[in-house]
Amino acid sequence: MNYETFDPHPDLAAVVKCHWILEVPGNIDTPKQRVIPDGSIEMCFILGDDVRRFTSENEFIIQPRAMVFGQITKPYFVQPTGSVDTFAIRFYPYGFANFIKQPIHKLADCETPLTSLFEERIAKQLEKEIIEANSTQSRIEIIERFLLNRLADQSTIDTIVKSTINILSQTKGSASINSILKEDLSKRRNLERKFSKQVGISPKQLGRIIRLQAALKMMLNEQAETLTQVAYESEYYDQAHFIKDFKEFTGVNPKEYLDHDQMMLSSLIYSKE
């Protein structure tokens, strides 16, 4: 299994967090993999065999070959039908809103084909070029050219949205929205409206996801000896609060997470973030 990330072009660095690839040989018997919220929006190109996304215990859809997956607010399962070969672009929470006119919150918890977001002819040509490219570097050059040609004035990244996300990231999600707004509650509705437009979820929900990610990385990197310490370091109210949030976003409790074979993919990715 090979997972690698690549830095974006400097002119895209304000909106694109990274490019990434995932390669898994087809002879590995991979169980369903649980995907959990991470606060990002991703544009993905499936270059290998089909990937199923389960809509219920036994029902699934085949994911589009070229798609955008919006903000994730609940865990879901995917399973490759053979070899995995994926190229993707991970946007900052506010990043992808700069490239489309559609309401960003409508992309949450689902895969949207590129043909639904961009002119069909252009989207199909982009997909063809990405699939036929002979290297990751070539794919990065193709997608960055596409994004740079469509990048709106970056002033559309509202200052209050970006500064709120920066504070949430710096405090690992523990800062309350009221403290960020300096107790000026009149600004809260405006902030939530702008988050819905540019991020797709509320600032409070994003903060919870960022805090969970910080706790996950602490667990994966063995930076704490007990779950109580993880909860304390991540500034949850108590261990019960930590377990409640953890189970809501991952579907399992913290003790199950590290040994769960359905977490193999997410553990690999988050341990390298």
pLDDT, residue 155, reads 46
Distance (Å) of CA 268 to CA 23, 86, 89, 216: 12, 15, 17, 11
The CATH number fitting domain 2-153, selected from 1.20.1740.10, 2.60.120.10, 3.40.190.290, 2.130.10.10 = 2.60.120.10
Amino acid in position 142: I
pLDDT, residue 43, reads 97
DSSP-assigned beta bridge partners for residue 87: 21, 45
Residue 139, Cβ neighbours under 10 Å: how many?
23
CATH superfamily ID and name for 159-271: Homeodomain-like (1.10.10.60)
To which H or E segment does residue 5 belong?
strand 2-6
- pTM, rounded to two decimals: 0.85
> CB burial class (10 A; 0-12, 13-18, 19+) of residue 207?
buried
pLDDT, residue 153, reads 47
Distance CA 84, CA 30 (A): 10
Tokens coding 123: 């989207």
Whether 68 contacts 42, CB under 8 Å: yes
List for the chain the helix, strand, coil content (%; round to 5). 45, 20, 35
Per-residue pLDDT of the chain (273 residues; tens, 9 = 90+): 789 999 999 889 988 999 999 998 876 667 788 888 989 999 999 999 999 999 988 899 999 999 999 999 998 999 999 999 999 999 999 899 889 888 899 999 999 999 999 999 999 999 999 999 999 999 999 999 999 988 754 445 667 788 888 898 888 888 888 888 876 767 788 888 888 888 999 999 999 999 998 888 888 777 667 888 888 888 888 888 888 998 888 888 888 876 656 556 666 665 555
Tokens coding 187: 């600004």
Tens-digit pLDDT profile for residues 7-41: 999 889 988 999 999 998 876 667 788 888 989 99
Backbone angles phi, psi at 111, to 5 degrees: -95, 130
Q: Sketch the domain layout of the chain as residue ranges.
A: 2-153, 159-271
